[in-house]
Structure 1
Amino acid sequence: MRIAVVGGGISGLVAAYRLRRALGDSAAITVADTRDRLGGVLLTSEIAGEPVDLGAEAFVGRRPEVPELLRELGLADQLVHPAGLRPLIWSEGRIHPLPGRTLMGIPAGAAAVEGLVDAATVERIATEPDRPLIWRPGADIDVHSLVADRFGEQTVARSVDPLLGGVYAGSARSIGVRAALPALAAALDRGAASLTEAVAEALPPSSNAPVFGALRDGYGALLAALAAHTAATTARDTAVTEIRRTAGGWAIDPLGEFEAVVLATPAPVTARLLVGIAPTAANAAAGIELSSSALVALELPKDTALPPNSGVLVATGESLRAKAFTLSSRKWAHLAARDTALVRVSFGRFGDDTVLGLSDAELIDAATADLATVTGVPIVPRSAVVQRWPGGLAQYAPGHAERVAEIESALADFDDLAVTGAYLHGVGVPACVAAASRAATRIAAGATAASA
């Protein structure tokens, strides 16, 4: 059986790997990608001769998908966890501790954000349970509209936006409550009398388990292992331009003919490829927008006086050009052991692609200047690496769940076509692994039934 996987990011590679395990050596699997490499928006490069991730660097450690996949691939010893330091927030020209007892920055009570917001906002949060809350079960609005109304604009700009910017390269205005905060939406649907009550109900139970995990040698180790175990034919620098139904399956230009296909492409590409096959699904996918970003990795002298924290998130409206700083040598013990200090500086939010037009030198200068501002110490990089991510992250806008349901419903009758990717059920690597595994299971089941 010939199967094409269009898109060689983590979603496509996991789908191909799962198909290989399910169908065995007899399956002819081809993975195509427009880039000259596999991995999509995951990329491990080098700085000072050591691996450094220039896309995502971590994953949610409380989800099982990545640790289980690492064990399957014989990479369990690659799993590392943070040193346990807390990040900071840069707001009003100074640093503040990251509030505790929040849900994606939404506080469970006024005490959580005291010192970060003004007294009037603290009072607004404290008295929020006394104001009637109007919420229609099943409704979905952007996070800003909900939180600003109940807890004030400062809470959004200084607590919520910095966290959403890190996850989605977006803001509270571009992200919907139901997709980004399903537990909060569920609490509101169940009749929570206030946002305060809903947040308290939605907070995960306290746990000593590490919140995040990473790979000691970067995501490149996982990508290489997936590619090796999949043993697929790869078509790099190859843009799939059209997919057409044939008597025996699918004609995929320029790859050839296949019995089944997995589309592990970004939402706009998926929409374009599906328009002649499943126009309803294509229309829904076309409604999912993307955000662009850029990252600068700075190699600093080992003795640079960085704060004893994991990073610094930047509030909306600040004069800094960067949106976040990951103090990697503080955050990760395995990086602290290196001979240099490593800092990742992130740029770019949804609706503003100007970062893509800046030169490498301009981005490095901005990263250096902004880091000096937030740390209060001279920053003199030994070297730096720049990576741009045009259209790298999907925006989970209000109505996202309905769009995804429409895509999946429109494709439900196809047992030889599946879609997967970070635009469906979560932008994090664990969510991508889970969605890709489901797509592969569906294709494998169709193949088994066809051969029976």
Structure 2
Amino acid sequence: MRETDTRTGSGRGRDGRDGREVLVIGGGIAGLAAAHRLLTGSSAADPVRVTVLEASDRLGGKLRAGEIAGARVDLGAESLLARRPEAVGLARDVGLTDRLTPPATATASIWTRDALRPMPKGHVMGVPGTADALAGVLSDEGLRRIAQDAELPPTELGDDVAVGAYVAARLGREVVDRLVEPLLGGVYAGDAYRISMRSAVPQLFEEARRHPTLMEAVRAIQARAAANQQTGPVFMGIEGGVGTLPDAVADAVRQSGGEIVMGERATSLGARGTARATTTNAQPTAGREPLWRVVTESGRTFDADQVVIALPAPAAASLLRTASPKASQELRAIEYASMALITLAYDRNRAELPAGSGFLVPPVDGRTIKAATFASQKWGWIADENPDLLLVRTSVGRYGDEKDLTRDDDDLTDIARNDLNEAIGLTATPVASLVTRWQDGLPQYPVGHPARVTRIREHLAQLPGIAVCGAAYDGVGIPACIASAHAAVDELRGDLGARDELKANPVQSLHGGAGE
């Protein structure tokens, strides 16, 4: 990367090699995955120099490993969707193969109607293929309402529709309120009645357009999955925590010659001149000066041929305000939800948990916590490392329901303990507690989100050598963020195949918390 001396205007590279100079802005998993793909995909014919700028003093974004009572635990996302190749593949590429581990148990529950009830089987993000497994979760009236799906005329979906509104119209509100809502909430911390079906459950959206009833669409998805004979765990964890993945990727980036600069917040992005305004994303013209200049909050200046922006939407909007005002305006319209994780450690001799990995909580029941994960039971490595402890994670906060997040840490801990007492009779006093707050942690995908993302990329297509990636675009899950990063890098190489594939077949987010 060429860093410009702002006093003299002269540029200096890290070495004398030719090749593309690429600046990746953002050190979350998307930015790190982009840097890794740039470096591992380079060749003598297409050499590349990569610099990652991270504003904070920590890499990983929403992936964060920590400790409580001396026990290692994730303080952010805790599992990887294994039915997609991106996240597990990246973990293997950076040397974590031996640490990949499936959950010790996949049995989960729903705390609803004043009881802990087994999570029904045979659903797609809470939408059932039959009503057979829903007794107890739904009322008798709710079960009868599901049968009306077969009698209703087909519903026109149009370009997009809210998941909750569509499912409620076909199967009744109880299915949404007691199944779809808590499952979607576990992924987006959002409101099912405004979340885009096309974005959040793309398989179901496409099948619902092909079948006259919703449950027929669900059964078609299930039949296809059975025909494909998908085997193995749905989710994988990493011994030591999924939060250790970013540092492993960062180490691989450095070993491949990449540079990671911490504590430098990019504040402006602009063209250095017009000489290469028509340069394509594929290959900068040899011997020309880099096209883009990025200035950081501290005054450092970095010049690059190409820039990958792997930032949350508000930060990306601020950075692009001059280079692409229209893209910036679209990015500013993306809303975020905040949440908090309350992690509790108990003396195993004084506390007892029911079987399973944890439970989800439908908001309609008026509880404060949205989910609880029995981390010591879900992950064998936690139990093995801490035979004297039981670790429990609970979550609070979702879009439109963030008032509890104004409470201090002690109050949140007390609320979590009270709900755990009511749900599972856990009365023991924890030996330690830890509250981790994720302010504006999860982007929201309302109806029309895919169209907004398309507009953003159309505006940015007018800027040669600029690509974006991350949770704000193609999915909030870890595989989705990595797939987005890979597509951005391929786009800079002039290959739009991955971007087109991602648009046609979004990486479906599945619940990776207590529920599965």
Whether the TM-score (by the shorter chain) exceeds 0.5 is yes
Superposition TM-score, scaled by structure 1 size:
0.93
Q: Give the AA of the match of 1:313.
A: L
Alignment partner of 1:128 out of 139, 149, 155: 149
Give 1:444 shift: 4.7
* Contact 1:23–1:444 under 8 Å retained in 2: no
Give 1:383 shift: 0.7
SS of residue paired to 1:42: coil
**Does residue 340 of structure 2 align to residue 294 of structure 1?**
yes
Give 1:415 shift: 4.1
Give 1:425 shift: 1.1
Residue aligning to 1:81: 102
Give 1:413 shift: 4.3
Give 1:71 shift: 2.0
Q: Distance in 2 between matches of 1:335 and 1:366?
A: 25
SS of residue paired to 1:241: strand
Q: Give the AA of the match of 1:212.
A: F
* Contact 2:148–2:171 under 8 Å retained in 1: no
Q: CA RMSD in A?
A: 1.9
Residue aligning to 2:283: none
Give 1:445 shift: 5.3
Larger Rg: 2
Q: Distance in 2 between matches of 1:367 and 1:216?
A: 26
Residue aligning to 1:398: 447
Q: Distance in 1 between matches of 2:153 and 2:428?
A: 50
**Does residue 285 of structure 2 align to residue 245 of structure 1?**
no
**Does residue 206 of structure 2 align to residue 186 of structure 1?**
yes
Q: Distance in 1 between matches of 2:295 and 2:400?
A: 33
SS of residue paired to 2:132: helix
Residue aligning to 2:316: 270
Deviation sequence 1:358-402 (CA, Å, 0-9, x none): 211111111212112111131321111211001111111111111
* Contact 2:71–2:382 under 8 Å retained in 1: no
Give 1:329 shift: 1.2
Residue aligning to 1:19: 38
Q: Distance in 1 between matches of 2:95 and 2:54?
A: 26
Deviation sequence 1:241-288 (CA, Å, 0-9, x none): 211111231121224122221100011222222232223322332222
**Does residue 233 of structure 2 align to residue 210 of structure 1?**
yes
Alignment partner of 1:233 out of 238, 256, 259: 259
Alignment partner of 1:103 out of 99, 105, 124: 124
Alignment partner of 2:187 out of 146, 152, 167: 167
Give 1:181 shift: 0.9
**Does residue 279 of structure 2 align to residue 260 of structure 1?**
no
Alignment partner of 1:410 out of 459, 470, 473: 459
Q: Distance in 1 between matches of 2:96 and 2:364?
A: 42
SS of residue paired to 1:404: helix
Residue aligning to 1:3: 22
Superposition TM-score, scaled by structure 2 size:
0.82
Residue aligning to 1:222: 245
SS of residue paired to 1:281: helix
Q: Distance in 2 between matches of 1:220 and 1:319?
A: 31
SS of residue paired to 2:266: coil
SS of residue paired to 2:359: strand
Deviation sequence 1:126-148 (CA, Å, 0-9, x none): 23211212214x43111111111
SS of residue paired to 1:238: coil
Q: Which runs of 5+ in 2 are unaligned?
A: 1-19, 274-289, 496-516
Alignment partner of 1:141 out of 152, 157, 161: 161
* Contact 2:148–2:170 under 8 Å retained in 1: no
Residue aligning to 1:326: 373
Q: Give the AA of the match of 1:263.
A: I
Identity in percent = 38
* Contact 1:83–1:331 under 8 Å retained in 2: yes
263-272 or 52-61: bigger deviation? 263-272
Residue aligning to 2:416: 367
Q: Distance in 2 between matches of 1:43 and 1:94?
A: 32
Q: Give the AA of the match of 1:114.
A: A
SS of residue paired to 2:454: helix
Q: Which runs of 5+ in 1 are unaligned?
A: 447-452
* Contact 1:356–1:390 under 8 Å retained in 2: no
Residue aligning to 1:354: 403
Give 1:326 shift: 0.5
Residues matched between the structures, number = 444
Q: Give the AA of the match of 2:147.
A: A
**Does residue 461 of structure 2 align to residue 437 of structure 1?**
no
